[in-house]
A and B are shown apart, each in its own frame.
Chain A
Amino acid sequence: MADLHFLANPARFRRFSRRVLPALSIVTAVALAVGLYWALVVAPPDYQQGDTVRIMFLHVPTASLAMGGYLLLAALGASLLVWRHPLAALMARATAPVGATYAAVCLVTGSLWGRPMWGTYWVWDARLTSFLLLFFLYLGHIALSRAYDDSERGDRAAAILAIVGAINVPIIKFSVDWWNTLHQPASIMRMGGPSIDPSLLWPLFWMMGALALLFATLVLLRTETEIDRRRLEIAENQD
């Protein structure tokens, strides 16, 4: 981590991202194009689920990236509160909406997948419910960080919320699991058998990588925008 500290200075980060972002965008676009072609055209349909299995290529990666994004948010919050890195605040501001969008994509694709597989758009399954709560945590973070006229106050409040939220996520997960086993047996959540065939697994890994790249690209781009916005704010206040 110590090596990343040189990026804590917004101006230095701006120079770094200006160099990295164009290359990263191209790599992301190519990776996404290849991944989508592989996942939607080349990969064979599942023997049970048919073509609906292709939803998985969007659903599973967005799920893990949305969870990882919340951890990132908590780490950024900690580095804002501990080291007062100005960049951490801007990056958290940039990350939260991307993470929330990933969580929303995961929920929507999940319910579209659930319709043909389980015969319903939504079940109060433990995983679905705890993911919905993760989405709400993201919304709370976004709303709180933008609720103050003094944006630095919003950043610090949201940082505390992100850390408390990250500690709470496992507790929420545990309680929802418990709640669900009490109300209904876990009978629905079986995805076409115990293991995934390699012909589906490799495009899944690829899509995971491509969507992670997209996440990184969007966060970098949005961080740049946040830096510029903050500079404009400061310039306005000086006049």
Chain B
Amino acid sequence: MSGVGALFLRDLRLVWRRPGDVAVVLAFFVVATVLFPLGIGPETNLLARIAAGILWCAALFASLLSLDHLFAADYEDGSLDLLLLAPWPLELAALAKCAAHWAVTGLPLAILAPLLGVAFGLDDRSLLVLALTLLVGTPALSLIGGLAAALTLGARRGGALLALLALPLCVPTLIFGASAIEASATGEGFMVHLAILGALALVSLATLPWAIAAALRQAGE
């Protein structure tokens, strides 16, 4: 377990030493979100209505954007071979890497999104729900993206392929994330959506580390 903890801290430390990587992802999130009002028009009612979908889609793209070097650096410099040989299960290592990815993208996105939501005219309750859904939903995105990243290790056209693999699998998360905010905006209860979102995240947590580990093993062979 201590090895897994060390791996998690190592990944965080790597990001800490080069904070630009995270900053670029967050900047992408902000810029991509800001483009929508420019393309659609400044009507506040319309923007408030579609804000949930836009913010969730932008968060989805932003978290995918930073995934292609999740395992690639370890794959290239040989650290992945050491992870494969390590005495603790590869599944836990995969989980640690995805957790580190979430801590430096999903978590900041969940904090940043409400600030952008204000610009879209979301009410206070919806802003809170937006942050909550992103907090609960982004772990699933990190895990699904982690699987796509592990599957495309060493592939040609890795980045575009990663998106093609991950996006259809992210659809359930996107639907329940965005619909929770919409339900809260229209005054319905959002707890059901949030609970299903949590269920999706937990199912991903319980199953995907095994798939990621299988993908990493065949990449290491």
Contacts and interface: CB of A to CB of B under 8 A. Distances in A.
A175 B165 contact: no
B147 A136 contact: no
B29 interface: no
Interface string A6-35: 000000000000000000000000000000
Which label, helix, strand, loop or mixed, suits the secondary structure of the B interface?
Answer: helix
Which label, helix, strand, loop or mixed, suits the secondary structure of the A interface?
Answer: helix
Contact of B218 (A140, A143, A157, A174): A157
Interface in A124-167: 133, 136-137, 139-140, 143-144, 147-149, 153-154, 156-157, 160-161, 163-165, 167
Contact of A172 (B151, B171, B183, B211): B171
Nearest to A148: B155
Given A153-B219, A157-B215, A160-B215, A147 B171 contact: no
B55 to A, nearest CB: 17
B175 A175 contact: yes
A201 interface: no
Contact of B211 (A136, A140, A144, A160): A160
Given A81-B214, A153-B219, A140 B175 contact: no
B90 to A, nearest CB: 14
Interface of B: 147, 151-152, 154-158, 161, 164-165, 167-169, 171-172, 175-176, 179, 182-183, 196, 200, 203, 207-208, 211, 214-215, 218-219, 221
Given A147-B161, A157-B218, 4 more contacts: A136-B167, A143-B157, A157-B219, A178-B176
